[in-house]
Amino acid sequence: MDEAILEQSLKFLDTLDVPLDKVKFFGGEPLLQKKQIQKIVTSFPKRHSPNFYVTSNSTLIDQNFIDFSDEYGLKLTFSIDGDAHTTAENRKVLWGIDLSAKIIENTKKYHTHIRINQVITSANAHLFFENFKFIYDLWVREFNFLPEYYRPWTKKGLVDLQKGFQQILDFHSKGNSMYLVNSENYSETSFFNLGIVIDTDGSIYGTNLILAGIFEKYKPELKIGDIYSGISIDIHDATFQSNYVAKVQEFLKMQYDEQTIKSVRYVDMILSNFVNQFEWK
């Protein structure tokens, strides 16, 4: 997002009558644009008092940005999936370099300032608890568990996923403290959220679905305005919201086969049951 788009985005948000309680920065890797993030946070319209969130692979983190995050209440999430082998499996290497060691090092170094995303796949679900425990032993205490959505899961993978969640419940019930970030999140559509999304060209959408490359072709049908002319519809309207959700879900069905959609339902059920049980303990 260039400077002109950024400035106009802030002007647009200053006119917005929708209360904003969360502002999330998406990438790619958001910390490639640290200065832009800092400018948005410090210049955000005073009529809103949102919490700010950044998810990063942590390789570009430094103490200055940690200090900035602490000062302005910017919630930092690091993406780490377990030990070096598991973390490397889910990460693209940079110029042939395995970044997992740096991710683990930074997670341990900054553990008091962060929460983490742990991705669990059908292939590594049998190591779910072991990987959780590896991260826990780095002194991390705030977890957002992300079973891989919109990928086919095997029956064994689903069984392993459920077993891993039960092991975490048992671990927690024995007095091991942790905070479940998943309990802060809810969506009508599994994984994807509704909300005002400002893209890098200033276009405005009602869902972060458009940030996934395979859904770029649906942008014209999901666009609801731009930062210059504003939002073209009443986003408070219940009928609009219902129709928009239905449109998003239809695009998902068009993009994925029935086996994958079925996997999503199972994965979401297992995760939701875990969250409910965790909150009751």
pLDDT, one tens digit for every residue, the chain (281 residues): 899 999 999 999 999 988 899 999 988 899 999 999 999 999 999 999 999 999 999 999 999 999 999 999 999 999 999 999 999 887 665 555 678 999 999 999 999 999 999 999 999 999 999 999 999 999 999 999 999 999 999 999 999 999 999 999 999 999 999 999 999 987 777 778 888 999 999 999 999 999 888 999 999 999 999 999 999 888 888 999 899 999 999 999 999 999 999 999 999 999 999 999 998 76
For residue 192, report the phi and psi dihedrals to the nearest 5 degrees: -90, 140
State the Cα–Cα distance between residues 135 and 157, nearest whole angstrom: 21
For residue 147, report the phi and psi dihedrals to the nearest 5 degrees: -60, 140
State the Cα–Cα distance between residues 207 and 195, nearest whole angstrom: 5
